[in-house]
Amino acid sequence: MSDDRWGAAPSLDDLAEMAEHAFASLPEGFRKLAGEVVFRVDDFPPDEVLDELGIEDPFGLTGLYSGVSLADRSVLAASEPSRVFLYRRPILDEWAERGDVTLEELVTHVLVHEIGHHFGLSDPQIDAIEAAAE
């Protein structure tokens, strides 16, 4: 007998939809300042990324910003599009371990954190902003 009352785990598409909704829910000024950012959801970060960052556990990285931050861009130099990667399995793992936030809240947190890197902010600066907002 199958008991499907809990439903299936959110898919890559489900998390992408959550990320799109989270971005659309951010203040308009924040979205405008972010500009063109490509969002992508994968199950895990690639091994090369983990190696480059010195992360051994693939569950240790929930998101990643890739590109030239707005603070470091030059109008004279072409740059790759800015990308925010969200990693489904590490996000689901953190969500299950924490138990104190909704999945949508966690996806929003990871998304905003990575967009902070797009703006040129460091992890300590992002953490300070988040702490001040609580």
Query: For 118, how many CA atoms within 13 A lie in the half-sphere containing its CB?
Result: 26
Q: Is the pLDDT of residue 17 over 90?
A: yes
Looking at residue 1, its pLDDT comes to 47
Query: Which pair of structure tokens corresponds to residue 17?
Result: 């939809």
Q: Is 12 helix (H, G, I), strand (E, B) or coil?
A: helix
Q: Is the pLDDT of residue 37 over 90?
A: no
Look at the pTM and tell me if it is higher than 0.75: yes
The conformational region for residue 92 under phi > 0 = left, psi -120 to 50 = alpha, else beta, is alpha
Which residues, in sequence order, are CB contacts of 131 under 8 Å at separation 6+?
Answer: none
Q: pLDDT category, 96, cuts 50, 70, 90?
A: very high
Q: pLDDT category, 101, cuts 50, 70, 90?
A: very high
Residue with tokens 């890739």: 66
Stated length of the chain: 134
Measured over the CA atoms of residue 113, residue 39, residue 33 and residue 80, the dihedral's sign is positive
Cβ distance 119 to 69 under 8 Å?
A: yes
pLDDT, mean over the chain: 85
CATH numbers and ranges of domains, the chain = 12-133 (3.30.2010.20)
- Distance CA(66)–CA(117), nearest Å, equals 9
Looking at residue 133, its pLDDT comes to 60
